[in-house]
Amino acid sequence: MCATCGCSGDHDHSHGHEKGHSHDHSSKTIIDIERDILQENNLLAERNRGYLDAKNILCLNLVSSPGSGKTTLLERTLTALKDELDFAVIEGDQQTTNDADRIHATGTKVTQINTGKGCHLDAHMVMHALQGLKPKENSVLFIENVGNLVCPAMFDLGEKERVVIMSVTEGDDKPLKYPDMFHTSTLCIIKKTDLLPYVNFSMVKARENALKANYRLNIIELSCTTNDGMESWFNWLKAKINSPEFIT
Ligand SMILES: Nc1nc2c(ncn2[C@@H]2O[C@H](COP(=O)(O)OP(=O)(O)OP(=O)(O)O)[C@@H](O)[C@H]2O)c(=O)[nH]1
Ligand SMILES: [Mg+2]
């Protein structure tokens, strides 16, 4: 995990798991540092947002646990809509250019950020990526965050909206266990629905749990294997583009 968001192994996370612990001086210091980092991040995120707004770019931050299907969803979306919309992608992973290579194969402009030991993207990384990528005016920019349902929730990147993806193989309780990610998102995509017959997952419970974390959350169920539900996602995306804020 990473040193910047406070989840590094350097810090003692055992507090809170033991009965009768007291918040000592070291715990307080950790909270102060975290606040400083987030303040700096938030300033840079606003700068990114200003740049993106000025160019009328719809920026969506895709967040999920590892392997829930973010890159697959992007591959399908970029391929299906490339004649209708201009896209660019920022890929975030700890290591490898695997995902950027997959996006590049669709013919889309893409840049990869490797975070090393870091477990999330931050606004500073995205600012540098934007300088190199130079997304077109009136386009859609997808940022695929590092697979992690915890730390990316804290880091505003300057996106317009956050899209949280969960797959049916992860369990229907994820919104209850990681509420911040669902609370800060506007759309929840429940993915890999083709696997529903094989896993112990209640769609009713998953929806209830997601709405407990955020009662305004839009929810779309889909499968990239059967394409069921893909049209709903495309329609959601096109509605964003056609909203008065993004008339091109
Ligand atoms: N059955 C099924 N498998 C899927 C679906 N979408 C993605 N997968 C598979 O899930 C695995 C992970 O997909 P990725 O798109 O790489 O997931 P990711 O979220 O980008 O992964 P990270 O970037 O490593 O966090 C791959 O084997 C995909 O083929 C789906 O809708 N149904
Ligand atoms: Mg990926």
Q: What is the pTM of this model?
A: 0.89
Residue 36, phi then psi, degrees to nearest 5: -60, -45
Chain position carrying tokens 């929730």:
153
Q: What are 6's two structure tokens?
A: 């406070």
Distance between Cα 144 and ligand 2 center (Å):
7
pLDDT confidence of residue 122: 97
Q: Is the pLDDT of residue 44 over 70?
A: yes
Summarised one tens digit per residue, pLDDT across range 208-223 is 999 999 999 999 999 9
| Nearest-CA residue for atom 3 of ligand 1 | 192
User: Which amino acid is located at 53 in the chain?
Assistant: D
Candidates 158, 163, 150; CA nearest to 217 is 163
Domain boundaries, the chain: 26-246
The class of domain 26-246 in CATH terms is alpha beta
Question: Which of the ligands is closest to the CA of residue 193?
Answer: 1
Chain position carrying tokens 């779309």:
220
- Say if residues 181 and 152 touch (Cβ distance below 8 Å): yes
Q: 32 Cβ partners below 8 Å, 6+ apart?
A: none
Distance between Cα 148 and ligand 2 center (Å):
11
Please tell me the distance from the alpha carbon of residue 181 to that of residue 145, in angstroms, as a whole number: 12
Candidates 29, 68, 52, 26; CA nearest to 152 is 68
Question: Which of the ligands is closest to the CA of residue 64?
Answer: 1
Summarised one tens digit per residue, pLDDT across range 132-166 is 999 999 999 999 999 999 999 999 999 999 999 99
Residue 9 CB–ligand 1 contact under 6 Å: no
Distance between Cα 76 and ligand 2 center (Å):
13
Summarised one tens digit per residue, pLDDT across range 5-36 is 666 544 444 433 443 344 455 566 666 666 67
Residue whose CB lies within 8 A of the most ligand 1 atoms, among 62, 65, 72, for a mutation test: 72
Residue 70 CB–ligand 1 contact under 6 Å: yes
Please tell me the distance from the alpha carbon of residue 5 to that of residue 195, in angstroms, as a whole number: 34
